[in-house]
Amino acid sequence: MCIRDRVSTQSTGYQLSVDGFESQLATNHLGPFALTGRLIDLLESTPNARVVAVSSLAAWGGKKYDTIDFKGTQATYDRNQFYYDSKLANQLFMDELARRHPKIVSVGAHPGISNSNLHSGTGSGSMTWAMQDSQMGCLPILRAAVEEGIASSTYYAPRGAFGIFGFPSDSSYRPSLAKNSEYGAAYWVASEEATGVKY
């Protein structure tokens, strides 16, 4: 069994989910977090169950907060920062799931800079010349989902410079904050409190 936690959005303005959370954090992190939690018993009882967290190079822009806020305010809203934080959250989730539920193979991937509809309406359209096609962007995620004998916390990314483009390889090129177990544990607890799903 493989759960691919990939429902990604990039907002063009301040929006809240039906549960009252900033839309990018709700879609990119809190939703997949809650889904995995709802399936945790099935995952733990299924041999070789795997969860793939799909992150992004944008995780490098994620920040550490003393108080983790999933809502923000319209007055201070920075859509890019919330997107960066949501992609950092994916990597924190990957490692913390592996620590808390070692029966599950918890891995991650990012697609590099890929030409997909994620960028529609965000002002990135003029940069398509610098992007790899979406089929290449899918390969790290596909490899994370099907590679045999993969260990938890393995992270696949394009093998080109800075993980921007190319065929996938096992990558250690991740933000140090994404590997911070103390912040990962705090983010997990905050996510449990926000979603009401504890596991």
Residues that are catalytic: 83
Q: Provide the 3-class DSSP secondary structure of residue 12.
A: coil
Residue 167 corresponds to which tokens in the numbers above? 């065929």
Among 113, 126, 92, which residue's Cα sits nearest to residue 162?
Answer: 113
* Residue 107 near residue 52 (C-beta atoms within 8 A): yes
Task: Please name every residue paired with 16 in a beta bridge, in sequence order, or none if there are none.
Answer: 22
- Cβ–Cβ < 8 Å for 4, 167: no
DSSP codes joined into one string, 96-121: HHHHH-TTSEEEEE---SEESGGGTT
Determine how β-strand 155-158 pairs with β-strand 132-133.
unpaired
Tell me the H-state helices in 4-46: 23-25, 31-38, 40-45
CA–CA dist 5, 184 (Å, integer): 17
What phi and psi values does residue 53 have, to the nearest 5 degrees?
-90, 125
